[in-house]
Copies of this chain bind each other. A is one copy, B any other.
Amino acid sequence: MSRFWNAKTTETKPYTPGEQPSAGVKYIKINTNENPYPPSPKVYEAINNSCNEELRLYPNPEGLEARTAFASANNLDVNQVFVGNGSDEVLAMAFMAFYDNLNPIMILDISYSFYPVYCKRLDVAYNTIPVNNDFTINVDRFLEPSGGVVIANPNAPTSIAICLDDIKSILEAHPNNVVIIDEAYIDFGGESAIPLIAEYENLLVVQTLSKSRSLAGMRIGFAAGNPQLIEGLDRVKNSFNSYTIDRLAIVAAKAALEDTEHFTNNVNKIIKTREYVVDELKSLGFGVLDSKANFIFITHSKFVAKDIFMYLKTKGILVRYFDLPRVSDYLRVTIGTDYEMCIFIEKIKKFIEV
């Protein structure tokens, strides 16, 4: 609290990112949905090639090379693509561009916890739609009139995906409002809505290179949609910060998007590991939601989630625990390497035996 803060700054409780351990402390870090595998070697090459005298010059303000690579990877035109400093920034700018405080948008009660923070901070009215008791989404509720819709697909932290037919119904119910599908985790088993952009002017798909492309450290997110929507995002960006993506991030994005083989291999490895971990946990009596993401959402009828979380931390394993209504019996566990997940399973077994 400070007399210098304005009302919104005082009132808005900020988002809390997952714990980042200090350098030096060695953890198995499966709490922030990072990719356990390194980025494409072509990323290093691209960065090294651009690490030169030109760093003194501003980057291309449109992030053109990165947008072109994303467009090309997704069969889009470059004017259907926006790039930002991570998908968090892209989302913030989308809330600023398309929503207001008169027409409440709809978000889920259990979803990415940044959405209500954006609403409060950026003066967007919203209604919260509860997920079903099994954490699936009641699509019918999203067909009611509203100022817009924001859905994470797969949803976080539940890991559950919805199908394109459901997304189509939602799009058709809101022809004059922007529907944001946040696909941060789409590459791990969900079906992307990007092909629907040609048909639906009101669809904005948000993706990131932080998860499936192993570039959380470089801060690159994208939005794909009708050129009108992209122009709206551009207007916001150019009223806030003209150059959000630095020179090295632009070339890193391009290189990562072009290396399809590296990407596919890593994603497949993670999916395989996920299936193994899910089977193991189920055999130990865990409830595991049907995951299409690089993380799983787990619960155990006999053990308190927070106790497991604390125990794992003492054993050098960081997972994510949300002390929030409806999910406090659950843990969100990122899928790491096979080795990391073996240790995780081993410690879980020890805990259960204790």
Contact = CB atoms under 8 A, between A and B. Distances in A.
Nearest to A256: B55
Given A218-B248, A232-B4, A58 B15 contact: no
Interface stretch (A30-38, A138-146, A155-163, A189-197): A30-38
**Majority DSSP secondary structure for residues of A touching B:** loop
A6 B216 contact: no
A242 interface: yes
A148 to B, nearest CB: 9
A2 B7 CA distance: 31
Contact of A217 (B14, B35, B58): B58
Most buried by B among A121, A177, A201, A217: A217
A16 B51 CA distance: 27
This protein's copies in its complex: 2
Given A12-B235, A60-B20, A248-B248, A97 B5 contact: yes
Interface stretch (A82-90, A274-282, A300-308, A314-322): A82-90
A112 interface: no
Contact of A39 (B55, B98, B121, B229): B55
Interface of A: 2-9, 12, 14-18, 20, 29, 32, 34-39, 43-44, 47-48, 51-61, 85-86, 88-89, 92, 96-100, 117-118, 120-121, 123, 176-178, 201-202, 210, 214-219, 228-229, 231-232, 234-249, 252
